[in-house]
Amino acid sequence: MEKLKRSLDSYTIKDALLFSQRVAQLSKALWKSIEKDWQRWIKPYDLNINEHHILWIAYHLKGASISEIAKFGVMHVSTAFNFSKKLEERGYLKFSKKENDKRNTYIQLTEKGEEVLLKLLEDYDPSKNTVLKGALPLQNLYGKFPEMIEITAIIRNIYGDDFMTIFERSFNNIENDFVIEDGKIKKKKDVEEHSYLKTTVNQ
């Protein structure tokens, strides 16, 4: 509270209102497009956004506790648990306990769950992403997509360094472990195995 009082010396309450409402209303407008695009992408696999996010987090953390899923998926613990149970019933996740941590429940992707997640990455179609289309004029002008440094800083201040570390790890994994083949995003190992089989068959 004291920190907020000191900060008020450098801006007015009107400044605060304008900023917070600008962020709120822009975020709401952006989320509407994001949600629609996201749902369209995962619909063929009968997943909802929370379920896909759980699979994504479990993949990049190589197993995670329900509380970690809730934290990094920005959802309530009960939501994380209930949707994880549904994914377990479909054979996409498996639940476990650790010997040194009996209190927390941990989840891990099954082979079937990983296959679904990787297939979704292959199915990603940029032409059906509204936010991407909205950013293309900037990409064409500056030669790169917006890095959203200021938004990232705000999120870091709200959710902490751990949240951003996991956030960045997932995208670093995509950058380092995946390649583009035939216009699709594929895991490097799968591409290497495919190339090896093609070479073996041709010999």
Could you tell me if residue 87 is inside a domain?
yes
| DSSP state string for 144-158 | S----HHHHHHHHHH
Could you tell me if residue 20 is inside a domain?
no
Could you tell me if residue 27 is inside a domain?
no
CA 158 to chain CA centroid, nearest Å: 17
Task: Please state the pTM of the whole predicted model.
Answer: 0.84
Q: Which domain holds residue 178?
A: 35-195
- The residue type at 199: T
**What does the alpha-carbon distance between residue 51 and residue 16 come to, in Å, rounded to a whole number?**
35
**What does the alpha-carbon distance between residue 166 and residue 69 come to, in Å, rounded to a whole number?**
11
Q: Are 63 and 108 in contact (CB under 8 A)?
A: yes
Based on DSSP, count helices (H) and strands (E) in the chain, helices before strands.
10, 5
pLDDT confidence of residue 113: 97
Question: CATH number of the domain that 44 lies in?
Answer: 1.10.10.10
Could you tell me if residue 40 is inside a domain?
yes
Tens digit of pLDDT for each residue in 18-43? Answer: 999 999 999 999 999 999 999 999 99
pLDDT confidence of residue 194: 47
pLDDT confidence of residue 104: 81
